[in-house]
Structures are given as C-alpha cells and as structure tokens.
Amino acid sequence: MIVEDDTSVRNILTTWLDQAEGFACVAVFSDVESALPKIAAEKPDVVLIDINLPGLSGIDCVRQLKPQVPNTQFVMLTVYEDSNHIFDALSAGATGYLTKTTPRDALIGALREVHAGGSPMSSNIARKVVQSLQQPKPALKPSEELSKRENEVLALLAQGYLYKEIADSLGIGFETVNTYIRRIYEKLQVHSRAQAVARYTNLER
C-alpha cells in the first residue's frame, strides 16, 4: 500500500510497483486518516509512506499501526534527511527510510530487501545512522531481560544481519530465528527490528 499526498508521485509509485515482478499495489491513499482502517484491516506486507502528509504525519501513522499490524513493514519515502525525522521514524516502528530521489530499481530492490528481513536506507540516511552509532557511548551490556541466545540474535540484528544470515551465523534454523525475534520484541516491548536495535544501541528516545 502507498500513502502519499502528491498525485504525480503517487501515480509514478503505483506504476513502478504494478510493473515490478512479484509486486501488487493493493491500495493507495492521500492521507493517513483514510489509510488507517484499511491498513489495520488488510495487513499488507509493506506500506510505503510519506512523512509530511495533511493531518496526521506518516510517523504518526506508523506509531499508531505498528502495534496492531506487527508483520506489516513500514518504509518511509520522504524528502527529510535530518536526524530527528530519521530516528523518530525508526523509533515509531519504521523498518526502512528512503529519500524521494531514490531511483526506481533501487526502490524496488529496497522493498524486496525489507520483505526479506532487511532495513533498507538511502546511502546518505545510512551514513547519518552510522555517524550517530559511532559517537562515544557507554559500553553496551547484554539486556538482562533476554536470554543469552536472544542477546546474540539481537546483537547480530544491530549489526545489520538478515534473518537468514543470523541463522547461518548461529547454526540454527530460519524459523528458530523468527521465534527468537518474536520473543525479543515481546520482552523489550517493541514492534519492529528498528525499535529493537534502537533499544540495543541506546538510540531510543
């Protein structure tokens, strides 16, 4: 599903997705208010959403819906590149963050990545996140709320590993990784990979 108030951008995105193999754009909205009940009811795999929308913002939408549709991945598509918007979106539960200058092939690739368990970001956005992570912080300690194995899984998530890579690294099955991640979300009271990593890296605000 797409939530975008600019008609021309909305039409371009819809065309791109409908023409991409394996994708179907099942609904398009110009504002959050009309999107909320449909997303909650239909639980799409991915929602591509702008931040600056009339009425509620895209970040408000993610914050409201992510607890209701934990398996739906929200990818921000926006002109904003500042740290405040980036971390507000990730903390709200967004799984990816792309700028509107993202070319078609890169956008489609990013959506495939998020569906495979990744957290795609435009290169300049990823750089800001890395710079924030590189700022001096107290040494990270394993969460006392998690088991040893859950902490290992969370540490690999924080390093950007995909679910299959975590499974290979730890010598466990893909479904076992999914089980661990569900437990991590429940124990940390988060609803997305980005929120869990934010908690782990002390970026949750």
**Residue 121 DSSP class:** B
Residues 47-91 have pLDDT tens digits of: 999 999 999 999 999 999 999 999 999 999 999 888 788 888 888
Round the average pLDDT of the chain to a whole number and report it.
86
Q: Is the pLDDT of residue 12 over 50?
A: yes
At 141, the pLDDT band (50, 70, 90 cuts) reads: low
Q: Is the pLDDT of residue 136 over 60?
A: no
Determine the pLDDT at residue 203: 44
Q: Is the pLDDT of residue 178 over 60?
A: yes
Q: Where are the domains of the chain?
A: 2-133, 138-200
Give me the helices (H) in the chain, please.
Answer: 7-19, 32-42, 58-65, 83-92, 104-115, 123-134, 148-158, 163-170, 174-188, 193-200
Coil, helix or strand at residue 8:
helix
Residue 152: CB partners within 8 Å, gap ≥ 6?
170
d(CA 42, CA 25): 13
Amino acid present at 122:
S
Instruction: Specify the CATH number for 2-133; select among 3.40.50.2000, 3.40.50.2300, 3.40.50.300, 3.40.50.80.
Output: 3.40.50.2300
Tell me the average pLDDT across 29-50.
Answer: 96
Determine the pLDDT at residue 195: 78
Fold match between 2-133 and 138-200? no
CATH number, span 138-200 = 1.10.10.10
